[in-house]
Chains A and B, each alone.
Chain A
């Protein structure tokens, strides 16, 4: 990329292994403000693991993370949130027994001047944010486990955008959504992009994300196959990267690219 701006996020030579298996091996990715980068790869390619290092869920064994060009010290999810990194996990990470508003504010509850929970304010704000995402959603008083998969996913997405994120990580964000809700998430991504938020979209299905992404980074067996601007490559070429590790001419190859003899 010829862009002279400082990347919002730069993950450099990041590695992590679990019991001798290199889940992520010397991987580097970056993300600019207002950009959507799709992180693609098969199940088990290491994309979720790489991104969980950025969100603080895992601690890296090696490598560094730069936020706005400055080294960032991310050791747990709280640290990541301090840098404005919000994550929508594939598992959603919601507490089933409490309602939507309580889930949106879990860990960052609003409080009254007396120090008690301000459920009224939290519900009002929840209605506002959920209204943006899923205008039909009305079940604010019920525990989240009573909600449909799509509604639960809306709750997880709302929680991520509630706190003025600068960096948004979405791990398979539309996995549980129907076509209409998926379209809504697509609209939301475009809107957040305009606000200058950088977004990592993780997916194992290229069709979900190709049209939304500015760039793709492809992983295979824990390594980065390569990076490419979506305008420079076709879906078939990206599929070749995902399946074979074969880098097309206009992509920048990474350590995991198939060596052409």
Chain B
């Protein structure tokens, strides 16, 4: 009976490790026993009795296992425990190294381990109805990067950029832009890329190109309209919605030579975070010189930013958000790993490069999200990241592709059901790319997608948009999307203020303008489909002369 309880407990510990998303090789017997020891749980104990206790490896952990789980590990198994279980546990935030004395030398005989707070909190819920939530919470907190922050680009005012003479757009979290071909949708996306390049001190041909801007001679990048004198600068104002309220930044950029495509662009910027710099700077220097102190530059900068009332974090945060922005415009060959990377964007290239590497680096929390992708394709059994490219040696891809991404098909013979990214259908690659872009901690927080419908079935578009709108909230992303497919609109809930639809159009002078589509509250029950309204012409955003 005792032996049965021991085996049952070990199986449960293995299930916990599996549910935590640890790799298969971290669900073995030694790992399970280590988890039980660190939880101080004997074979007959209930999981809610698990408690955190610092334990030294040989003295505490192995003794606990030998005593209560009838094992017979000798002292020379120490290294196995350390390598097989404890180090990966620490790496995966299941356990913490030396919590009682973080300064201990790595070779100290007092080296000890304890379960992490997030692990013990979850483990105590095993075998209860809260287990699923507990696991999700564990995975969320497992990596600090999983935590999201809710700073959003609240508005953008664009002046004198390409076809946009002046336009202000109040953005939501998930924004879809529709309009006739040539109405200026992409110019809106590009204006954000221009300010992103300016913020990253990367306002060069390469800097703009790598963010997805179609570069032309400066006199074509500046607005040019009949009957008006061309202004020689582009002005873009952005406002970020932060916990401290709105933070704005006004940036002017101007080319040194309007007729030279490779010319240098110069920047003038005024932002809320920088606006009080001069008085504060004078005060700080005066204090240092009066007190005869030596100037600590870092301390001075921090003091400066704190005194501006916005704090260094906000300034840094929005600069990072803008500078990482890019316009994704997928190309199936890039997704298949056939076309070499054409953009400097990491981890995902603007045309779809790098999807395989990004997916292979997903943590359990991200993997859980990605698993939902399987519902989009009836035939899909699973997504395989073949990090070592072993499948190539098995002849599973012809070899032109560098992608290590594979899919298994549920309808094909089990021994013969693996398709490489090079051979799979293009729809799944596009869907997987978008999901990864929204799920990943490593992808930009703010980005644009041009023509999201490419290669996708209309019904799939609708469902995908619903999923992406949800993901944008849960993963802290802000997206600006263009489409020509009405089905995309049917995935939007326009009664949710986070999800916004804009019609882009040219006014009678040819200036690009943007209008948000909102519905009156008293029409909430109307049984209309937004896709049909668009097709009928009731929303605008379609050619009117035929």
Chains A and B belong together in one complex: no
Interface of B toward A, CB cutoff 8 Å: none
Interface of A toward B, CB cutoff 8 Å: none
